[in-house]
Amino acid sequence: MSIKLIAIDLDDTLLDDHLTISPRARETIREAVRRGVAVTVATGRMYRSALPFARQLELDVPFITYNGALIKCSISGEIILHIPVRRELAQQAAELCRVKNWYIQTYVNDMLYVKELDRYADMYSALAGVEPIPVGENIYKVQDPPTKMLIVSEPDNIPDIQQTLQNVFNDKLYIVSSKPMYVEITDPAANKGRALELLAARLKIDRQEVMAIGDSGNDLEMIKYAGLGVAMGNARPEVKAAAQAVTRHNNDDGVAAAIEKFVLI
């Protein structure tokens, strides 16, 4: 079957290490769209952090944000899907972070909340292009169900943090490391694979006609779901193992190369 829908991760996939989309990737995606292929972004980023890239690519397909917890149209603003973390579970996670002294940030109504503007908050703000809102100790008091929660720590700490969360919450939360310093928390029904499945059904596109391109742990579900899962050359080993194909590095136009090879043929 020919590919009719392409889902592309942003960080370390479509974006190079300078957080830019190359001219080649931009033109390749536009050519795919001209040929009738639907192209969407599938990212762990918040909606307003991903929106400039979707607009840069002139995409009019709903795109997947917050690791699949929110699907929203970039043009109309229509929300197709929103699955926030249950408030009581978010409160438990926040309290655990307080006790463990882990940095935690939360996302509510597409706003980013942090305890204080420290090194981790500044680092994330520079990456996402979003100004965080400091709320002090209120970061540990969950009032509204967050779309996502994010723990940031040094890379050596991440495996232990992830394992602790898994031990406490089991399958009550979806816990995944998307970058060496990040542990992301969403509702268990929210992941990129399920979101992509819903979007494909909405567009009446068969699973075998879907291509997904990604690099990290939060891309695994959509790589497995897609008829053609493509891992970046810089992808984690488990992502490469799950993919049907491996393309080039994100700094070497891996996304463009994959689309040229499998779609623009």
- Band of the pLDDT at 215, cuts 50, 70, 90? very high
> Pairing between strand 103-108 and 111-114?
antiparallel
Question: Rounded to an integer, what distance in angstroms lies between the CA atom of residue 72 and that of residue 109?
Answer: 13
Contact 162, 185 (CB under 8 A): no
- Band of the pLDDT at 60, cuts 50, 70, 90? confident
Contact 160, 146 (CB under 8 A): no
- State whether residue 57 is helix, strand or coil: coil
| pLDDT of 265 | 86
Side-chain half-sphere exposure of 81, counting CA atoms within 13 A: 24
Q: Comparing C-alpha atoms, which of 139, 51, 47 is closest to residue 96?
A: 139
Alpha-carbon Rg for the chain in angstroms: 18
State the catalytic residues. 9
pLDDT above 80: residue 1: no
| Arithmetic mean of pLDDT, 45-70 | 94
User: Who contacts 179 (Cβ-Cβ below 8 Å, separation ≥6)?
Assistant: 11, 12, 216
| pLDDT of 134 | 98
CATH 3.30.1240.10 in the chain: give the residue spans: 87-186
CATH 3.40.50.1000 in the chain: give the residue spans: 5-82+190-262
Mean pLDDT of the chain: 97
| Arithmetic mean of pLDDT, 68-79 | 92
CATH of domain 5-82+190-262: 3.40.50.1000
- Band of the pLDDT at 224, cuts 50, 70, 90? very high
pLDDT digits (tens, 9 = 90+) for 102-131: 999 999 999 999 999 999 999 999 999 999
Question: Rounded to an integer, what distance in angstroms lies between the CA atom of residue 177 and that of residue 94?
Answer: 17
Sign of the Cα torsion 157, 180, 166, 106 reads: positive
The pTM for the full model equals 0.94
| pLDDT of 31 | 98
- Band of the pLDDT at 76, cuts 50, 70, 90? confident
CATH of domain 87-186: 3.30.1240.10
| pLDDT of 150 | 98
Question: Rounded to an integer, what distance in angstroms lies between the CA atom of residue 250 and that of residue 74?
Answer: 24
